A = this chain, B = another copy of it.
Amino acid sequence: MSRQAKPIRSDIAWSTTGRITVRGRDLPGQILGHMNLGEFTFFQLTGQEPTPQQPEVLNAIVITLVEHGLTPSAIAARLTYSGAPESMQAAVASGLCGLGSVFVGGMEDAARMLSEALPERRNISDTELAEMARDQVNAYRQAKRILPGLGHPIHKPVDPRAPRLFEIAAANDMAGPYVRLIQAIATEAERMHGRSLPVNATGAIGAICCEFGFPWWIVRGFGVMARAIGPVGHMLEEHERPIAREIWRRVDDEATAHLRPA
């Protein structure tokens, strides 16, 4: 093998016998007790000191995604925990695996649509915005693709998380061109399709992540980190008042009843 080795390099964190440093800050001395989890998440991801506003908004985004009841992800985690209670990490992992195109992907798709329409964050006139929105809606229509971040199968007429997230973004000076753009897209889509299609939570989060400057392909990560918190509460409950076995027994009994001898 005459392959030339390439360097391996990471700028995130290092440690020695006596020190642990993350993004250039001493973890025990300059981070613990000085940052809350939202601040530190921003700092670990970007390497930048957060403004006072940024963690306010980031906390809201992540909290929105932590808990939504007995989702497929939470049920999978509880079923997994019932088989391997000694491996809680695997139960959380099991629940995360399904955060893909159907449930969390919408955030990513919305952020992608917005950042492709407006690659650089900049001031933009209402006229240009309306035109951009029309172009997007037309492009998705022609490609027979569903516009991401609009409408909701359960929360109707409006997903109540979206207006609240926009409110928090505005209160922290982060309701800029991407937030305006997704709202313009919703307006245009409603006009074209003749029905209510308000921005949902994933659309709001996708837009706000663009305001932060996060690349679209990292946006799913906020859903993933959030949904690693929620299942811990579900396992605490599962341990005290289990439901996973009952779900299993009911599903197996009903699904195969037609096959069994009478």
Contacts and interface: CB of A to CB of B under 8 A. Distances in A.
Contact of A27 (B44, B64, B237): B64
A84 B97 contact: yes
Contact of A83 (B16, B102, B161): B102
A235 interface: yes
A84 B98 contact: yes
A10 B44 contact: no
A232 interface: yes
A92 B94 CA distance: 9
A211 B244 CA distance: 30
Interface in A214-229: 215, 217-218, 220-225, 228-229
A98 B15 CA distance: 20
Contacts of A95: 94
A75 B218 contact: no
B101 A86 contact: yes
Interface of A: 1, 3, 5-22, 27-29, 31-33, 35-38, 40-41, 44-45, 55-56, 59-60, 62-64, 66-73, 75-76, 79-104, 154-156, 158, 160-161, 163-165, 167-168, 171, 215, 217-218, 220-225, 228-230, 232-237, 239, 241, 243-261
